[in-house]
Amino acid sequence: MKYFIADPHFGHVNILQLSNRPFNTIQEHDDTLIKNWNNAVKPTDEIYILGDLTMSKDGKYANSLLSKLNGRKYLIIGNHENYLNDTAFDKSQYVWIKDYYEFNYKTIKFVLFHYPILEWNGYFRKSIHLYGHVHNTRQPYFESIMDKRAKNVGVDIINYTPISIDTIIDEIGRAHVWTPVTD
């Protein structure tokens, strides 16, 4: 199974207030996210992290964190992946690291990017754009301007638990009628 998550911000004390996350301490936050992740994602599942795993610049911290999380991990680089520059970080923790990625699943093109895109490759066809970055601070605004086939997979929106590809398809399918587009 494929899962998605964005903006967990592990170890980032200020994120509790900035995104109004319902945790008393960063330790409670991190422990809950790790527990939710591992309850949803099996070791053989694929998990796409759409940026901002942690604000830490410490590669050893990122190594330790990633070793606690289930799944084959793929990273779409966000604006806070500073640990990637630390020579102590083991990049083999990820299957790959990219800025942007597209793939097809059950006849649907998926476009992954840390930032929301108003129109993406395949926009006029059967496609879904997954993004993060905006947390929950401007969610009503983004919902008003983004197509219903664009989904924020930030932890603040997905109940601090990775979301499966099939759940995304079901949610978007309820909000959008798939219509074929001819050339």
**Predicted local confidence at residue 12, as pLDDT:** 96
Q: Rounded to whole angstroms, what are the CA distances from 169 to 26, 119, 120, 131, 173? A: 32, 18, 17, 15, 6
pLDDT digits (tens, 9 = 90+) for 128-175: 999 999 988 777 787 888 888 999 999 999 999 999 999 999 999 866
Distance CA 21, CA 16 (A): 5
The pTM of the full predicted model, rounded to 2 decimals, is: 0.93
CB atoms within 10 A of CB 71: 24
Q: Answer whether 80's CB lies under 8 Å from 9's CB.
A: yes
Q: Answer whether 7's CB lies under 8 Å from 135's CB.
A: yes
**Predicted local confidence at residue 180, as pLDDT:** 44
Collapsing DSSP to helix, strand or coil, 104 comes out as: strand
Reply yes or no on whether the pLDDT at 182 is more than 60. no
> What length does the chain have?
183
Residue type, 115: Y
H runs (alpha helix) in 7-109: 15-18, 26-40, 59-67
H runs (alpha helix) in 41-162: 59-67, 139-145
